[in-house]
Amino acid sequence: MEISAATEHRDQTSDQYVDDELVGRLVAECSKPLYGMAVSIVRDHALAEDIVQETLVKAWQAFPTFRGDASLVTWVLRIGHNTAISALRRIREDVQDPASLPVQPYNGPEERVVDRMAVEAVWSALDHVDPLSRSMLILRDVEGLSYGEVEEITGASPASVKTRLFRARRNLADILRDWR
Amino acid sequence: MRHRHLTRRRLIRLLEAGEVSGVIDHVAACEQCAALLESDGDLSSPIQRALSNAVAPPRDLVDRMLVSVADRVRRQESIAVFADLFSIGWQTSKLFVDPTTHPIPEGDA
């Protein structure tokens, strides 16, 4: 179902209607990028899942106001970014040990050890990067979003996005020189 | 710093010295330096892969979210329906007990 058609359908059938197709689409398209961004900000596996759920419910509630200026994923990620930053403010001093974060996907027993070590090294390197820059790094270099989309989601200026990304990549590359 | 283009080395030195806001101000007004930042620093593929693994969601995330989000949405809708029914009942009862409600004149009935 097209977004505009979904909105129309929901309006016609009153607020008491649960559009399963819309919920399904929000979950299918947005869960993964939301999780990656959230965990990069709060660094806590369970909290990142809570943020994903909270964001998707907020997006469902606010969907009638979605005008389609940005893509659906960008719009939802913007809501998710604000939700994650608020969550970070609440739990700032109580973050999960990065070494306990799950490593996925596993391709085989040999690769498992290598992946695990790489992930631990990445999380140690990310310690040296602030949460806002970490989220920019994930949005741009993992999710492959454009600079413009990263600006829209994080609310940062173009210059800020470029500078922070440059610094974060350099930090990561310096610390992880052995993984190049 | 505003009117001098930054070399890569100077840029790195400034950022390492914590001059982030100074660099941001300069880059905001200087297309050439903005392009330098944009063109430089793609992560190598092993680092990119490790980064991607580090933030990968659990395999069953989407399935669990489908259930939990739909459940929360339905609960909210149920509350909304209950509130609407309560409101209708309240308005109806007001019709019977409200002294300001005037009876319909016999000729109009």
Q: What is the pTM of this model?
A: 0.76
CA–CA distance, B81 with B87 (Å, rounded to integer): 10
Write out the residue range of the structural domain in which residue A22 sits: 3-179
ipTM value, please give it: 0.77
Task: State which residue of chain B sits closest to A15, comparing Cα positions.
Answer: B77
CB contact under 8 A, A60 and B73: yes
Using CB atoms, pick whichever of A32, A115, A164 lies closest to residue B53.
A115
Q: Which residue has the tokens 């759920």?
A: A53
Calculate the alpha carbon distances from A147 to A55, A133, A159, B44, B45 in Å: 22, 13, 10, 19, 19
Largest CA distance in chain B: 94
Interface of A with B in 9-38 (CB under 8 A): 15-18, 20, 23-24, 26-28, 31-32, 35-37
Residue B22 CB coordination number (10 Å): 15
pLDDT tens for chain A, 180 residues long, are: 444 444 444 444 444 455 788 899 999 999 999 999 999 999 888 999 999 999 999 999 999 999 888 899 999 999 999 999 999 988 765 545 554 555 444 444 455 666 777 788 888 888 888 999 999 999 999 999 999 999 999 999 999 999 999 999 988 888 887 665
Residue A57 burial by CB count (10 A; 0-12/13-18/19+): exposed, middle or buried? Answer: buried
Q: Is A38 left (phi over 0), alpha (psi -120 to 50) or beta?
A: alpha
Contact between A138 and B51 under an 8 Å Cβ cutoff? The reply is yes
For residue A130, the domain's CATH number is 1.20.140.160
Show residues of chain B in contact with A101, CB under 8 Å: 54
Structural domain boundaries in chain B: 1-43, 54-98
Task: State which residue of chain B sits closest to A57, comparing Cα positions.
Answer: B69
Using CB atoms, pick whichever of B42, B59, B74 lies closest to residue A18.
B74
Question: Is the minimum CB–CB distance between A99 and chain B shorter than 8 Å?
Answer: no
Domain count, chain A: 1
Alpha-carbon B49 to chain mean position: 26
